[in-house]
């Protein structure tokens, strides 16, 4: 049971003590005595002033610890003093010099508070923390020298040992960022602000082959008086966590950086660039040969081709041309035949010095760690990635294998996407070329030369189409639809142009019908409709021109295309139209044709914007086109084409999508064309036959006289019977073709009939169609013209 006296002693023990202060002169005599000293020892100031301070010291006897139970001795007490009642009191003493009096000393006395079993709670806590904590704990003095470390610190890869006491961090772990760590320690000493989670990394003594990372925290240590006495640090190894974070960051960067283009070689190089040097010292990327051409990979048959190579030493990095050809690195599967069942494989190998850029600067054989990982997409191998590390202790771990598998898988998807694009792109380009005119035969109307570079985005086409009456149609068009859809679009448009050309329509009418076709194809919700409504749809452009060598007239209409240029024989160069109309399918599009009379040997230039994307002020054509064209007179079209391409693209190839069509006009020789005006009288039919027969004799085409006379008789008879006004008859000898034309003032077109056996009429036009190779009708402002074409065996020189 507790007594009041016991409770008072406990209450007194719980009260905080104030330092007792006394002043001693240079002779050790007490000259000052505070109230706290009186409360602690019981002596009044008059009782101790003038006495030696040694009189306060108690003889060796049991101690009274602040009113608590006595103890034989307290090792933590600096001195034992005697109070007024003769009891010994254990106290701690701090002494500092003072000028009052000069040469004197101020003595601060603090009683020692007893603790269970003679130890303070703080000491027990500190001892437990150091000896049992799994976290590394170190204590440094204010000079950053190690004073104490716990057992957990001694287990950190040999960083701390028995001889570590008294050393600075950079002496304890030279192969690390200890200098930076010491700088942070000094900052904490000065500011008192703790530093948390400072990464200290390097190669520790017990594991010099690998880098380790430790998360360190730094705290300042102060004594009860607030004086800085040193620093405490804690450390936890986070190597595995940092490696995992780096791998996650690597995979994230790989997802962003790999596959930004649809080129197989560029994608392979992107993978090599991402992994070196962050994951490996060198890397090679090899794909099956069919992948480069867009074909399906066949691991059982195809060989490997290099598409990516990177070495950590920039001076040894190869040029792009060094990555062509078969791989020469040591590789478990020397060809594609062993790839089908390949799994990630680790091996220690020797790299020979055989001229491979990867070995540049090496001498003899070099040891290396290799990791070969297949690139798979939908259970099909498209290639392999080989990773190399040259550090003898830097082999690939199981975690590295998982990372490499993930990297290779992501690259495989991008490479397969590039392969698919290559396949579609090749198919689209092949289709575009298939749709181009196979033979732009020279005709009496024009001589032509062209250049075509398939577009990477969009599709282009051009055409040279024979038209009745020895005329020729020149067509250039573009669409911004890419791939197979773009090729299909120009295929449909090209077919429509041929059909409309056979109808002998005016160029403005041809573009008007193409405009209707584009809108109909769009179906109200497609590209053409979007463009018509002011939105962003597919842009389809076309220039259509018809040249008549009999008159030298060129009729031209354009929808969104650059205006063609014409160079006359005197060296003048000018555009044929002031401005191009809106693209096909655009809202409110109106088509107007321009008629231009051209002298013989004029040179026409049709081109796409890719050949000359930049124009001068006020829309002027660039000199890369006009300068070569100004010197066109007297030069062959092939030479002119090369000059234009060189001026437009410099030393390199013409840009994708560049189309150039050059045409040099001709005029029909009057000796190869005859025309007569005939009255509308049945008796004139015989006259027409005689006129034609005599002209055929002049041309040496007597063998065609029978058929030609029959055709002329039928056409002139129909004109007399069904039309009104004068009748025009014209025959043209155009190289291998004999053209016969009969014109009248009627706009009614004849129709071919297939007469039955008992019918009396309806066989005349049928006979004309059977005896000639082509026939048709074209309309004009004054009526119509029915024309026929016959192939002739002999070609008269023009």
Which H or E element spans position 559? strand 553-559
pLDDT of residue 340: 55
pLDDT of residue 298: 80
Mean pLDDT over 225-232 rounds to 86
pLDDT-wise least confident of 187-201, 380-394, 568-582, 747-761: 747-761
**Alpha-carbon distance 759 to 779, whole Å?**
30
How does pLDDT run across 662-671, given as a tens digit for each residue? 999 999 888 8
Mean pLDDT over 462-487 rounds to 89
SS3 672: helix
430: left (phi over 0), alpha (psi -120 to 50) or beta: alpha
Q: pLDDT at residue 546 above 60?
A: yes
pLDDT-wise least confident of 399-403, 432-436, 505-509: 432-436
Find out whether 479 and 462 touch, Cβ atoms under 8 Å: no
Q: pLDDT at residue 444 above 60?
A: yes
Which range in 359-368, 482-491, 685-694 is most confidently predicted, on average pLDDT? 685-694
- Give the chain's end-to-end CA distance (angstroms, integer): 143
DSSP assignment letter at 14: H
149's tokens? 């470390």
Q: pLDDT at residue 199 above 80?
A: yes
pLDDT of residue 225: 72
Which has more pLDDT, 675 or 85?
675
**Alpha-carbon distance 210 to 204, whole Å?**
8
pLDDT-wise least confident of 156-170, 521-535, 698-712, 765-779: 521-535
pLDDT of residue 328: 45
Q: pLDDT at residue 76 above 50?
A: no
Find out whether 182 and 169 touch, Cβ atoms under 8 Å: yes
- Cα–Cα distance list, 305 to 127, 298, 373, 613 (Å): 66, 13, 16, 37
pLDDT-wise least confident of 50-64, 217-231, 783-797: 50-64
pLDDT of residue 537: 57
pLDDT of residue 415: 93
Could you list the beta-strand ranges (E) of 326-445.
345-351, 366-377, 380-389
Give me the residues paired with residue 29 across strands: 52
pLDDT of residue 485: 83
pLDDT-wise least confident of 85-99, 314-328, 466-480: 314-328
Q: pLDDT at residue 490 above 90?
A: no
pLDDT of residue 92: 82
pLDDT-wise least confident of 111-125, 141-155, 271-285, 604-618: 111-125
Q: pLDDT at residue 53 above 80?
A: yes
CA 711 from centre of chain: 66
Q: pLDDT at residue 568 above 60?
A: yes
pLDDT of residue 534: 42
pLDDT of residue 795: 47
pLDDT of residue 361: 45
How does pLDDT run across 17-36, given as a tens digit for each residue? 567 898 988 888 889 999 88
Kindly indicate the confidence band of residue 302, based on its pLDDT and cuts at 50, 70 and 90.
low
Which range in 194-208, 341-355, 638-652, 684-698 is most confidently predicted, on average pLDDT? 684-698
CB atoms within 10 A of CB 521: 18
Kindly indicate the confidence band of residue 324, based on its pLDDT and cuts at 50, 70 and 90.
very low
Mean pLDDT over 595-620 rounds to 79
**Alpha-carbon distance 381 to 399, whole Å?**
22
Find out whether 15 and 25 touch, Cβ atoms under 8 Å: no
**Alpha-carbon distance 464 to 160, whole Å?**
88
SS3 102: coil
Helix axes 705-722, 764-771, angle to 10 degrees: 150
| DSSP class per residue in 481-501 | --HHHHHHHHHHHHHHHHHHH
Find out whether 778 and 750 touch, Cβ atoms under 8 Å: no
**Alpha-carbon distance 365 to 356, whole Å?**
13
Which has more pLDDT, 654 or 334?
654
Mean pLDDT over 156-175 rounds to 84
Could you list the beta-strand ranges (E) of 223-302.
228-237, 282-288
486's tokens? 């773009």
Q: pLDDT at residue 336 above 50?
A: no
**Alpha-carbon distance 514 to 582, whole Å?**
13
**Alpha-carbon distance 741 to 730, whole Å?**
5
pLDDT of residue 523: 65
CA 568 from centre of chain: 47
Q: pLDDT at residue 685 above 70?
A: yes
Nearest to 468 by CA among 718, 772, 685, 746: 772
pLDDT of residue 742: 94
Could you list the beta-strand ranges (E) of 189-259.
195-202, 212-222, 228-237
pLDDT of residue 355: 47
Q: pLDDT at residue 553 above 90?
A: yes
How does pLDDT run across 521-542, given as a tens digit for each residue? 876 544 444 444 444 557 899 9
Q: pLDDT at residue 75 above 50?
A: no
Which has more pLDDT, 497 or 118?
497
pLDDT of residue 14: 39
pLDDT of residue 709: 92
Nearest to 256 by CA among 236, 272, 271, 278: 271
Mean pLDDT over 700-724 rounds to 90
Q: pLDDT at residue 430 above 90?
A: no
- Cα–Cα distance list, 736 to 35, 336, 733, 787, 790 (Å): 138, 57, 8, 16, 8
619: left (phi over 0), alpha (psi -120 to 50) or beta: left
Nearest to 173 by CA among 142, 136, 126: 136
Alpha helices in 436-482 (DSSP H): none
Mean pLDDT of the chain: 81
Mean pLDDT over 117-131 rounds to 65
Which range in 107-121, 155-169, 378-392 is most confidently predicted, on average pLDDT? 378-392
- Cα–Cα distance list, 390 to 369, 508, 546 (Å): 6, 72, 71
What residue ranges define each of the domains in the chain, with the CATH number in brackets? 4-118 (3.30.450.20), 122-237 (3.30.450.20), 263-425 (3.30.450.40), 446-482+519-665 (3.60.40.10), 671-791 (3.30.565.10)
pLDDT of residue 530: 42
Mean pLDDT over 409-437 rounds to 86
Which H or E element spans position 5? helix 4-14
Q: pLDDT at residue 438 above 60?
A: yes
Q: pLDDT at residue 738 above 90?
A: yes
């Amino acid at each position: 049971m507790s007594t009041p006296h016991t409770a008072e002693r406990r209450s007194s023990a719980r009260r905080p003590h104030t330092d007792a202060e006394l002043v001693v002169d240079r002779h050790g005599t007490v000259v000052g005595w505070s109230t706290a000293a009186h409360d602690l020892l019981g002596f009044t100031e008059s009782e101790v002033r003038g006495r030696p301070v040694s009189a306060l010291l108690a003889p060796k006897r049991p101690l009274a610890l602040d009113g608590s139970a006595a103890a034989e001795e307290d090792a933590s007490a600096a001195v034992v003093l005697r109070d007024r009642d003769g009891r010994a009191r254990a106290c701690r003493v701090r002494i500092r010099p003072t000028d009052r009096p000069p040469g004197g000393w101020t003595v601060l006395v603090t009683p020692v508070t007893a603790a269970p079993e003679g130890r303070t709670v703080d000491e027990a806590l500190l001892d437990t923390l150091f000896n049992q904590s799994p976290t590394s704990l170190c204590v440094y003095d204010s000079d950053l020298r190690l004073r104490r470390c716990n057992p957990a610190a001694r287990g950190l890869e040999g960083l701390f040992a028995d001889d570590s006491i008294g050393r600075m961090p950079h002496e304890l772990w030279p192969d690390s960022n200890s200098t930076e760590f010491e700088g942070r320690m000094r900052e904490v000493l000065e500011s008192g602000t703790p530093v948390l989670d400072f990464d200290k990394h390097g190669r520790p003594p017990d594991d010099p082959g690998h880098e380790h990372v430790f998360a360190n925290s730094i705290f300042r240590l102060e004594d009860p008086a607030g004086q800085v006495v040193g620093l405490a640090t804690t450390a936890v190894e986070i190597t595995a966590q940092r490696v995992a974070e780096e791998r996650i960051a690597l995979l994230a960067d790989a997802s962003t950086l790999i596959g930004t283009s649809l080129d197989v070689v560029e994608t392979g190089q992107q993978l090599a660039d991402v992994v070196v040097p962050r994951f490996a010292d060198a890397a090679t990327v090899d794909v099956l040969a069919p992948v480069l051409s867009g074909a399906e990979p066949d691991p059982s048959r195809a060989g490997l081709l290099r598409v990516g190579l990177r070495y950590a030493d920039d001076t040894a990095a190869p040029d792009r041309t060094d990555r062509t050809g078969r791989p020469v690195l040591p590789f478990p599967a020397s060809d594609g035949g062993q790839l089908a069942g390949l799994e990630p494989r680790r091996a220690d190998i020797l790299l020979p010095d055989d001229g491979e850029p990867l070995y540049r600067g090496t001498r003899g054989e070099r040891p290396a760690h290799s990791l070969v990982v297949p690139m798979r997409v939908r259970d099909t191998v498209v290639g392999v990635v080989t990773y190399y590390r040259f550090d003898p202790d830097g082999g690939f771990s199981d975690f590295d294998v998982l990372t490499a598998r993930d990297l290779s898988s992501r690259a495989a998807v991008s490479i397969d996407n590039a392969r698919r694009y290559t396949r579609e792109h090749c198919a689209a380009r092949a289709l575009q070329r298939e749709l181009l005119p196979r033979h732009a035969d020279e005709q009496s109307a024009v001589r032509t030369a062209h250049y075509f570079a398939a577009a990477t985005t969009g599709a282009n086409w051009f055409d040279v189409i024979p038209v009745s009456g020895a005329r020729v149609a020149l067509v250039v068009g573009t669409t911004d639809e890419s791939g197979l859809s773009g090729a299909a679009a120009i295929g449909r448009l090209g077919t429509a142009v041929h059909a409309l050309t056979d109808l002998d329509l005016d160029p403005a009418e041809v573009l008007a019908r193409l405009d209707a076709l584009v809108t109909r194809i769009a179906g109200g919700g497609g590209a053409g409709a979007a463009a018509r409504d002011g939105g962003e749809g597919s842009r389809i452009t076309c220039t259509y021109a018809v040249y008549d060598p009999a008159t030298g007239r060129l009729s031209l209409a354009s929808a969104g295309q650059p205006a063609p240029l014409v160079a006359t024989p005197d060296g003048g160069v000018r555009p044929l139209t002031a401005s191009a109309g809106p693209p096909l399918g655009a809202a409110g599009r109106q088509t107007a044709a321009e008629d231009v009379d051209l002298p013989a040997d004029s040179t026409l230039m049709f081109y796409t914007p890719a050949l000359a994307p930049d124009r001068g002020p006020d829309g002027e054509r660039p000199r890369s086109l006009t300068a070569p064209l100004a010197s066109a007179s007297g030069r062959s079209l092939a030479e002119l084409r090369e000059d234009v391409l060189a001026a437009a693209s410099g030393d390199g190839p013409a840009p994708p999508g560049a189309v150039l069509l050059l045409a040099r006009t001709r005029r029909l020789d009057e000796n190869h064309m005859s025309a007569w005006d005939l009255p509308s009288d049945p008796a004139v039919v015989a006259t027409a036959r005689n006129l034609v027969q005599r002209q055929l004799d002049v041309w040496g085409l007597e063998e065609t006289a029978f058929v030609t006379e029959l055709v002329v008789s039928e056409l002139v008879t129909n004109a007399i019977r069904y039309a009104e006004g004068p009748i025009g008859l014209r025959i043209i000898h155009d190289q291998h073709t004999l053209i016969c034309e009969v014109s009248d003032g009627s706009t009614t077109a004849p129709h071919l009939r297939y007469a039955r056996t008992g019918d009396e009429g309806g066989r005349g036009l049928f006979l004309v169609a059977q005896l000639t190779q082509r026939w048709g009708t074209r309309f004009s402002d004054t009526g119509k013209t029915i024309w026929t074409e016959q192939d002739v065996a002999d070609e008269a020189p023009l």
